[in-house]
Structure 1
Amino acid sequence: MNNNKLYVRLFVCLILGLFASCIEKAITKDSFSSSTSVSDQVYPMLDTENSRWFFFSSASRPFGMTNLSPDTEIDGAWGSGYRYKTDTVKGFSHIHAWQMSGVSVMPVTISAANQKTIYEDFYSKFNHQTEKISPGYHYVELDRYQIKSELTSSTRVGFHQYTFPKGSNPAILFNLNTMLGPCENFDGELTKNTNRELSGKVVMKPTHRRPKPVTVFFKVTLSTDIVSIDQDKKTGNYLVNLTNPNHSEVLMKVGISYTSVENANHNLQEEIPHWDFEEVVFQSQKEWNGLLGRIKVEGGTETDRRRFYTDLWHALQGRRIISDANGAYPDNTGDEFRVGQLPLDDSGKPKFNHYNSDSFWGAQWTINTLWGLVYPEIKEEFVHSLLQYQKDGGLIPRGPSGGNYTYVMTGSSSTPFIVSAIQEGLITEDLESIYQALKKNHMVGGIMEKAGYEHSTSYGGGFKYYVENGYVPYPIPEGEFGGHQEGAGLTMEYAYQDWTLAQLAKKLGHRNDYNYFMKRSENFKNVYDQSTGWMRPKNVKGEWYENFDPYQHRVGFVEANSAQATWFVPHDLPGLATLMGGNEEAVEKLNKQFDEANKMGFTAGTSHDVEEHPEYRKIPINYGNQPSIQTAYIFNKLGRPDLTQYWARMVVEKTFSGLSPSTGYNGDEDQGLMGSLAVLMKMGLFQMNGGVDDDPVYQIGSPVFDKISITLNPEYYSNATFSIASIDNSEENLYVDSVMLNDQPLQGYEIRHSQITAGGKLTLQMSNNPKMSFEVEKAQIK
């Protein structure tokens, strides 16, 4: 891009006031001007003061293998990557994934003063005022070198455009041996192939979570000639000296692969065979617009709409593709590394992509629903990817990284994800073999036995006690073998996941299995203490945990306290209410918790790393982490939809509203989970049990917009639109007075998956008058 075009873009962005999220394509692409581009609504800076390595994304495609962006902090998985308050760029790296990082580069100018120090002294200040970011694009000026840097990408290729000062000596530093986010990069190699081509590799050191090393291979092509390559003996890193073209502009493409340099080159040639930077930016914006534009919202404030699309954007990133364009992928599940091959269709293209992914822990209330309804093709792909791990390594993972198991978090969290895909009709073949693979995870030798990051043993999950005694003790008598060995919480999680597997057993006619897993799904009752009214840990002798405090964090409960975790019975809320004395007593108890949590903004501080702070950890409902994010919709299931409507609105207002680098998700966003939750709550659709019913059920809440339109994918559902119209909607009129589906009264506050996917219109008459199903003394809305 020449300087005139650059200045035009920056000027237009400033005029439009789209700070930190503007990219003007109307100059050359009339059909996607900023006035019609949904992607321009996204605010990428959200929560970047609290972000972690994989949280921030800019020059990236949806789920892209390449996720190119500037790094301002590079040490550790937490507090790293792009951190808004750090004003120093320390490199542009191509991989920001769960437990993975790699290929960090930095454009520099070389002078007599810095040519001997550049390998260790190369950071540059930058200014947010001149920075421009939108999905698929990042512009930043490196003040130290006066280099204008622009980044974009395809799925597997990073595309750089650097405008160097005229008369300077341009170079690019390849920091292949460095600490980079969650892991150290080492054994970096860079080779000159031709005057304009380089190839190389770098190894990611194992982490506590990812137990094996991973190699990333890359191929580099440049638009200008390479003068020389120098390697520093101390750091082992490389400086690529370039000729300075007359127009002072250098383009660089970096294709990456986890299998070979040859496949990195294939990815590069397949995805960006040309040198048109503008075209790649446009195609990236077009891809984002296509996905984000499937949901159209009307009404609310401009900030409300921008925040909605920012939440939706987060729901479509973080979990990263690891397979090449030809279907090759890294398989680290065995004793020896191997290159696997995904099945190909008749045209020779992979039938699906393979993924790197954080845990599906909490996905039953988030991406299960959003992906299944709006992005069924993505959900289907992820199911096939999880099943590919099972074919290679014998177990369906709950969070794979680097082509291997990490055993992140707990239980068999992939079970409700896969079962819901089957119930939605997205997966229709080989159901018996899928069932048997899922069942294996719920039995001896399966993944349910393992606590978090328990790689070499199977004691930390307390599974044998769960099967024999009906609960997991706290503490585990055998000792510490992994993370998250909190027995009461594990018991409740296993019980829910057993129930979800039972639904598939029923569908396939496995009556004995159905009865067996349904019986196990009642194990939550074994950790309910009638004397206190809370779920409570037990030791191996069956004795209740002494000096019990339901607000004490992580004592028997995974990333939660008892007050939060007591409500984790999404499969049998009537049964839980019975334990508490009935629906009215349960509603009163939960409503009091919401009253208290409201005073603290419904979250344990503004970031995940402060949850255990004494000031925050006693919160009774925490919408900053997964264990209690379903609680507002529990009222619906207990006969008080008005309280669901009220508290869901309050949670959205205090937890998932606004646009600021200082806040956004107030906890652990976890690769789309909280973004998805925010989207669903604002749409007023929620699935309490994870969508694993035969024809899944959605609970209706209180939408924040006047109208929401979902364009259904015709390859999976009807070639139609489903809309939600909230008549007389306002901050005061947050209650649903009546429900109509296609102009016919709909009983209750639930709607079936088949009713939505057939297309049509849901009409909600809103009012300021709560419509109660029964009166609850002392549970009136404040």
Structure 2
Amino acid sequence: MNIRPLLRIVFFFIIGSLCLTSGCKEAGNTTQPYAKMVVPTLDAANSRWFFFTSASRPFGMVNLSPDTEVNGAWGSGYRYNTDTVKGFSHVHAWQLAGPSIMPVNPDLLDQNRLFQDYYSSFNHQTEKIFPGYHQLMLDRYQIKAELTSTKRVGFHRYTYGENIALLFNLNGQKGPSFMTDGVINQTEKTNLITGQVTNQPTFRRPKPSTVYFAAKFNIPVQKVVQDATSGDYIVYFEKNTAKPLMVKLAISYTSEANAQVNMQKELPDWDFDQVVKDSEQEWNSLLSRIQVEGGTTEQQQRFYTDLWHALQGRRTISDVNGAYPDNTGKEFRIGQLPLDDKGTPLFNHYNSDSFWGAQWTINTLWGLVYPDIMDEFAQSLMQYYKDGGLIPRGPSGGNYTYVMTGASSNPFIVSAIQKGIIKDNLEYTYQALKKNHMPGGTMEKIGYEHETNIGGGLSYYIDNGYVPYPLSDVIYGSHQDGASQTLEYSYQDWTLAQLATKLGYKEDAEYFLKRSANYKNIYDAESGWMRPKNKAGEWKADFDPYQIENGFIEANGAQNTWFVPHDLEGLSALMGGDDAAATKLNTAFTEAEKLGFTAGTSHDRETHPEYSRIPINYGNQPSMQTAFVFNYLNKPWLTQYWSRKVVKDVYEGISSERGYNGDEDQGLMGSLSVLMKMGLFSMKGGCSLDPQIELGSPVFDKITIKLNPDYYSGKEFVIETHNNSDQNVYIQSANLNANELGDWHISQNDLVNGGKLILEMAGKPNKEWAVKK
């Protein structure tokens, strides 16, 4: 029996019922419960510490969710196939963890092993998850746990039978961090406790980071007991089975007092259900900025799940009053963000994984749909510069981590300037960006190189036109792969040259434009691939373009050869022209399709021999742009064909067993998936003097982008596809605002002025459309 039609009827009945209770308008006028379409368990079987989110607000300081595994940054957090809850942690961030709570029935536990034997099984059948809410049953204690949050406060509701106590896990391994010095300070009030716990330094985060907290309960505390061995605590309550136990736990990276301020400002009351509704409304307000019609129900669910991932992962670290932790200097200090006339911070400060690959993902998505978010993140990155003298490429705990390589945050800020999102202090910002490209900047540092400035190989790049591989016998950090570094620096130099041109710095523009051609120095005409060179200028011997991470960062030579987004015309010329380059790339896609376009179905499989020898890997950042390279090789129909193939094989489905087939770094893969499904891309990362948006092949019949009136003059931009289907992936003609569009790109400015793009689709390519004669 085919039950899909029945399931679809049931789904729309549920959605309709939700609209009755949530005040949704008629279809076409709109506010649908987009948050309810998100599937948080997508790819959760392959989760890592900061990947899974449930009871969290967009970019929330608090990221409250169950932990089924707690050891290490990888393979920890909420792992779908592990059926044991080990606590509910409040921080799941890049290189950071925080206080964890585990509700227990102390009467059912061996008092001598209270702090060692407290885990509980649970069943997905009794679990309910949507953005801003997580519910499950702790089978061992028959306690129903419900979680929600504001931006800085976790809110718990525990419904129980006979007795309940809370185990505060403040010490030991929590994801990427070893937690120490966990302490609870019981106040004179019987329903409030405060405390703190410290994340010890890691290989990636070189300084300790303390998380302060304040917890308030709706039932009076009877006593607090500390375990002499672990240093953890258990909080007992007065017997009261008539009502659920509710807990508000606010955090701060600056002080216990500010944790209490965060609680008072964001969550003064005890209305749990209202907080759940408020959270859903906040998610809906962001998700509804893109409204899609057509496709299957599952495709729409996956689209909004991807969009949800694009709006999380990177976490707030500043308090509601603007206080924030500054760890960029020799001594820790509490910084203060600038305030408006009402005493409200002008922006939030953030913890973030690397912006490595952001040029093809959040640069475009945020810059088009969420310019307010892009603005705020750019200001946060500049705050690090004001405090520590460098724009970070991935800060954690208010400090530099030097994650990945290059100056990956620079194109993000350049893009925001070129799009008119950042308009003030441009000369000051330019000088900050320029510093990253020169001796003393982040380009000198390889991944996690905290104490030296050698591993980046910048001096060789400047003097010799490339970064050698190997650089030296000394390993200074991670990702010391000269060929990739050369390609990355070349693109980033080009982006800075564009900004220099805009601001009238002619000499700088010429200098960095010249450096941007350094990619040519590692192209080996004989083999036809980018190839590492040693210090003597000799090609790497026994070069295998399919061997991963042998001069290339999280990629192989076949994949990284196409990393010349700023000068694909130049790359094409090196390869013998557009036809030769397109044939080479088309062959690579045909070969990659046999492995599903990814190196396995999770990031930990990328280096396995059976997966790694793939010429294109859409499970990691270095290959993100490849389907859109065909546009630049005068064969846009191949961009349309292969981009739809990749979406179908890599970014469809809502299974917990797979989803991104690789490394979903804090919204980068989610953003890429969203853009490809809308048929939009920006090869140069939005850093051109006139940023361009390029066309692929949209999945949906209609896509409406609600434009932010604080930044853009247009009300909305609509993309309509006629005769679209899984087979009809080729653009036959395009019409923009009633005018024929004879090209495969649109100016960002034209797009944000609003209007409608109509694409006529068919099952065969129109090789005449948008092809230069």
Q: Percent same amino acid at aligned positions?
A: 61
1:142 to 138, 143, 162: 138
The answer to whether the 8 Å contact 2:64/2:90 transfers is yes
> Which residue of 2 is the match for residue 318 of structure 1?
313
In structure 2, C-alpha distance between the alignment counterparts of 1:130 and 1:103, rounded to whole Å: 25
Once structures 1 and 2 are overlaid, which stretch shifts more, 537-546 or 109-118?
Answer: 109-118
The answer to whether the 8 Å contact 1:22/1:134 transfers is no
The answer to whether the 8 Å contact 1:169/1:243 transfers is no
Q: TM-score, normalised by structure 1?
A: 0.95
Following superposition, the deviation at residue 27 of structure 1 comes to 8.6
Listed as ranges, the matches of 1:198-347 within 5 Å are: 198-347=193-342
In structure 2, C-alpha distance between the alignment counterparts of 1:187 and 1:310, rounded to whole Å: 37
The answer to whether the 8 Å contact 2:713/2:753 transfers is yes
> Which residue of 2 is the match for residue 726 of structure 1?
721
In structure 1, C-alpha distance between the alignment counterparts of 2:756 and 2:600, rounded to whole Å: 39
* Residue 189 of structure 1 pairs with residue 183 of structure 2: yes
Considering only aligned residues, what root-mean-square deviation do their CA atoms show, in Å? 2.0
- Cα deviations by residue, 1:687-728 (Å, 9 ceiling, x for unpaired): 001001123101101000000000001011125110000011
The answer to whether the 8 Å contact 2:19/2:32 transfers is no
2:501 to 493, 502, 506: 506
In structure 1, C-alpha distance between the alignment counterparts of 2:16 and 2:377, rounded to whole Å: 31
In structure 1, C-alpha distance between the alignment counterparts of 2:173 and 2:606, rounded to whole Å: 27
Gaps (5+ residues) in structure 2? 1-6
> Which residue of 1 is the match for residue 3 of structure 2?
none
2:633 to 631, 638, 641: 638
> Which residue of 1 is the match for residue 736 of structure 2?
741
* Residue 553 of structure 1 pairs with residue 548 of structure 2: yes
Give the AA of the match of 1:151: L
In structure 1, C-alpha distance between the alignment counterparts of 2:98 and 2:16, rounded to whole Å: 27
The answer to whether the 8 Å contact 1:68/1:151 transfers is yes
* Residue 690 of structure 1 pairs with residue 685 of structure 2: yes
Query: How many residue pairs were aligned?
Result: 761
In structure 2, C-alpha distance between the alignment counterparts of 1:175 and 1:612, rounded to whole Å: 35
Following superposition, the deviation at residue 732 of structure 1 comes to 1.2
* Residue 577 of structure 1 pairs with residue 577 of structure 2: no
SS in 1 for 2:660: coil
SS in 2 for 1:391: helix
Following superposition, the deviation at residue 751 of structure 1 comes to 0.3
The answer to whether the 8 Å contact 2:532/2:551 transfers is yes
> Which residue of 2 is the match for residue 132 of structure 1?
128
- Cα deviations by residue, 1:618-659 (Å, 9 ceiling, x for unpaired): 100000000011000000011000000000000000000001
In structure 2, C-alpha distance between the alignment counterparts of 1:741 and 1:774, rounded to whole Å: 14
In structure 1, C-alpha distance between the alignment counterparts of 2:412 and 2:209, rounded to whole Å: 27
1:173 to 144, 157, 167: 167
* Residue 605 of structure 1 pairs with residue 611 of structure 2: no
> Which residue of 2 is the match for residue 72 of structure 1?
68
> Which residue of 1 is the match for residue 381 of structure 2?
386
* Residue 82 of structure 1 pairs with residue 78 of structure 2: yes
In structure 2, C-alpha distance between the alignment counterparts of 1:297 and 1:655, rounded to whole Å: 20
Following superposition, the deviation at residue 115 of structure 1 comes to 2.5
Following superposition, the deviation at residue 114 of structure 1 comes to 2.3
In structure 1, C-alpha distance between the alignment counterparts of 2:699 and 2:71, rounded to whole Å: 39
C-alpha distance 713-112 of structure 1, shift in aligned 2 (>3 A):
closer
The answer to whether the 8 Å contact 1:23/1:137 transfers is no
In structure 1, C-alpha distance between the alignment counterparts of 2:454 and 2:635, rounded to whole Å: 42
C-alpha distance 774-246 of structure 1, shift in aligned 2 (>3 A):
closer
- Cα deviations by residue, 1:48-70 (Å, 9 ceiling, x for unpaired): 01110000000000000000000
- Cα deviations by residue, 1:511-552 (Å, 9 ceiling, x for unpaired): 100000000000000000011000000000000000000000
> Which residue of 2 is the match for residue 3 of structure 1?
none
> Which residue of 2 is the match for residue 5 of structure 1?
none
> Which residue of 2 is the match for residue 425 of structure 1?
420
In structure 1, C-alpha distance between the alignment counterparts of 2:769 and 2:239, rounded to whole Å: 76
Q: TM-score, normalised by structure 2?
A: 0.96
The answer to whether the 8 Å contact 1:23/1:133 transfers is no
Following superposition, the deviation at residue 771 of structure 1 comes to 1.8
Following superposition, the deviation at residue 371 of structure 1 comes to 0.4
2:148 to 147, 152, 173: 152
Give the AA of the match of 1:586: A
C-alpha distance 108-387 of structure 1, shift in aligned 2 (>3 A):
same
> Which residue of 2 is the match for residue 4 of structure 1?
none
- Cα deviations by residue, 1:65-111 (Å, 9 ceiling, x for unpaired): 00000000000000000000000000000000000001000001111
SS in 1 for 2:98: strand
1:119 to 115, 120, 124: 115
C-alpha distance 605-113 of structure 1, shift in aligned 2 (>3 A):
closer
Give the AA of the match of 2:766: K
C-alpha distance 735-199 of structure 1, shift in aligned 2 (>3 A):
same
Following superposition, the deviation at residue 24 of structure 1 comes to 8.5
* Residue 98 of structure 1 pairs with residue 94 of structure 2: yes
The answer to whether the 8 Å contact 2:470/2:481 transfers is yes
Following superposition, the deviation at residue 769 of structure 1 comes to 1.7
Following superposition, the deviation at residue 158 of structure 1 comes to 0.2
C-alpha distance 113-285 of structure 1, shift in aligned 2 (>3 A):
closer
Give the AA of the match of 1:414: S
C-alpha distance 174-15 of structure 1, shift in aligned 2 (>3 A):
farther
The answer to whether the 8 Å contact 1:76/1:181 transfers is yes
> Which residue of 2 is the match for residue 518 of structure 1?
513
In structure 2, C-alpha distance between the alignment counterparts of 1:775 and 1:580, rounded to whole Å: 23
In structure 2, C-alpha distance between the alignment counterparts of 1:249 and 1:540, rounded to whole Å: 68
Listed as ranges, the matches of 1:358-377 within 5 Å are: 358-377=353-372
Following superposition, the deviation at residue 347 of structure 1 comes to 1.1
The answer to whether the 8 Å contact 1:488/1:537 transfers is yes
Give the AA of the match of 1:738: S
C-alpha distance 222-15 of structure 1, shift in aligned 2 (>3 A):
farther
Following superposition, the deviation at residue 248 of structure 1 comes to 3.8
Give the AA of the match of 1:447: T
> Which residue of 2 is the match for residue 779 of structure 1?
none
- Cα deviations by residue, 1:192-231 (Å, 9 ceiling, x for unpaired): 1111000000001111000000000000110001111111
Give the AA of the match of 1:532: S
C-alpha distance 695-39 of structure 1, shift in aligned 2 (>3 A):
same
1:712 to 707, 712, 722: 707
The answer to whether the 8 Å contact 1:304/1:657 transfers is yes
C-alpha distance 24-478 of structure 1, shift in aligned 2 (>3 A):
farther
In structure 2, C-alpha distance between the alignment counterparts of 1:607 and 1:374, rounded to whole Å: 29
> Which residue of 1 is the match for residue 646 of structure 2?
651
The answer to whether the 8 Å contact 2:93/2:314 transfers is yes
The answer to whether the 8 Å contact 1:376/1:716 transfers is yes
The answer to whether the 8 Å contact 1:641/1:773 transfers is no
Give the AA of the match of 1:760: G
C-alpha distance 429-439 of structure 1, shift in aligned 2 (>3 A):
same
SS in 1 for 2:492: helix
Following superposition, the deviation at residue 403 of structure 1 comes to 0.1
1:457 to 448, 452, 469: 452
The answer to whether the 8 Å contact 1:727/1:764 transfers is yes
In structure 1, C-alpha distance between the alignment counterparts of 2:302 and 2:647, rounded to whole Å: 11
The answer to whether the 8 Å contact 1:25/1:32 transfers is no
Listed as ranges, the matches of 1:741-760 within 5 Å are: 741-760=736-755
Give the AA of the match of 2:183: E
